[in-house]
Amino acid sequence: MKIAIINGPNLNLLGTREPEIYGSLTFEQYLANLKSNFPHVEFFYFQSNVEGELINEIQNCGFGFDGIILNPAGYTHTSVALGDAIAAIDTPVVEVHISNVAAREDFRKISHVSAKCAGTIAGLGLQGYELALEYFIRKS
Ligand code: DQA
């Protein structure tokens, strides 16, 4: 099974970025754990702070993968083009947010990607990525 994890802007700073909201683990540390807990899954990981690079990668992973776990970060709330990219591909996408976006500022309650995704997980910390992975495993 081939799974892509795509993280948007500022998620490269996990571990030091607002740890009271996003926790103190880096994504690399979390991913190393995930890989060792799911040895049969082939992971591809991509992070970018650039909207167009995220779209390119969604397209690249959009036809040969079993699932994409996507945290579009701030672009969730602004990017029509990211939503369009998800609608244009075959691979199902699960949207993940580390924080509970529904409990934060009003602008975070708008998502341009949710309606194009199989589902959304928010507010469960980094565990959300693992739960999204479980969804793809059970579905396969
Ligand atoms: C986030 C929530 C977004 O509102 C925010 O802009 C992020 C991270 C999350 O994982 O909780 O950068 O996607």
Tell which atom from ligand 1 comes closest to the C-alpha of 122: 11
Ligand 1 centroid, distance to 120 Cα (angstroms): 13
Calculate mean pLDDT across residues 10-23: 96
- Percentage of the chain modeled with pLDDT above 90: 99
Contact, 9 vs 49, CB < 8 A? yes
Looking at residue 132, what is its pLDDT? Answer: 98
The domains located in the chain, with CATH, are: 2-139 (3.40.50.9100)
What one-letter code names the amino acid at 62? G
User: pLDDT tens digits for 103-129?
Assistant: 999 999 999 999 999 999 999 999 999
Average pLDDT for the chain: 98
Chain centroid to CA 61 = 13
Calculate mean pLDDT across residues 88-93: 98
> Does 108 belong to an annotated binding site?
yes
Q: How far apart are CA 93 and CA 135, in angstroms?
A: 11
Ligand 1 centroid, distance to 69 Cα (angstroms): 14
Calculate mean pLDDT across residues 134-139: 97
The edge-to-edge listing of strands for the beta sheet with 2-7 is 42-47, 2-7, 67-71, 93-97, 119-122
Looking at residue 42, what is its pLDDT? Answer: 98
